Structure 1
Amino acid sequence: MMLDILIEASGWREIAVDALAKQAISQTLAQVSLPVEQVDISLLACDDARIVTLNEAFRGKPVATNVLSWPAVDLSAGIEGHAPAPPKPDFDGSFELGDIAIAYETCAREAVDLQKSLEDHATHLIVHGLLHLLGYDHVRDRDATLMQALETEILGKMGVDDPY
């Protein structure tokens, strides 16, 4: 797996976000039967100020959010409640999935509000962001049901409680 991690907010180092990300991504890829060693993903572990800038630039929303994703290819299902299309490998056999950004202050605040450890909440958000890269979404009801069930199953295999 080619996982490019840029840690901009020092709080992420305190919980070893790089190790959490590798585990969350490996488990998610195994769940969807993608070869871990052939997948390329970038993760930005930033602060709220940075995610506000990104959220405004890409979504027109000048507010902090917990996680953002930029899929390399749109794999979303055209029919509500159906699984997304599987990614196709590049000419070299690798799968370029895209980029994820997670914001430290928002994640830490949500973890406290949800009475979860920051590690578990960050793990959930990384799984969530990766599923977005794989074409899953939660805008339509049946798509949300499909995505949330998959998240719960992946996290359960990692010993993380149902986030919903």
Structure 2
Amino acid sequence: PTPARAASLRITEQQRLELEQGHTDDAIRELAHAISIDPSNSYAYFYLGRAYIARRDYVQAQTFFKRAEIGVAANSAWLGETYAFEGVCLEQAGKSADAVAEYQKALAASPGNLTARVGVTRLSAFMPASASVAAPVVESDQTAPDEAGEPPPADEAPDPPAPPSAPPPTAN
């Protein structure tokens, strides 16, 4: 990568860690800086979306996820995460049918995506039978989320794989 790309990715990784610690405002400022260094850094857009979910600004979060989607299209794990978080934004905006569609796109891209599986399961219970679409079948060695328990809040969903310095983990 170019020096600008390397610097932007380094900042993105640092801010991913800051987001994990709840430092949302600092992360937003620094991720915007990472994008100013390298506007093609899709991971910075993705984590900006995550930061805005933490702020409960779902419209802004979805804007950044849409931008991230363009750059991660060739990587099914990242694309699945991006679609899943777009689904979270739509669900929080009260657009259940659109959220289910995004969750299903996430599952098509990455069948082991827990955020999408929980989301589509949760929303399918509230959708009319004619509008509800079944979740894709998941490999038998994957465990389903605990249906008796409450799903985790959207802003506490599992983190996606680390930026591109390491390949994303595969679902088992």
**Greater RCO between the two (CA within 8 Å, min separation 6)?**
1
Q: Rg larger in 1 or in 2? A: 2
Hey, which of these two has a bigger chunk of helix by percent? 2
Which TM-score applies when normalising by structure 1? 0.26
Structure number having the greater strand percentage: 1
So what's the TM-score if we normalise by structure 2?
A: 0.25
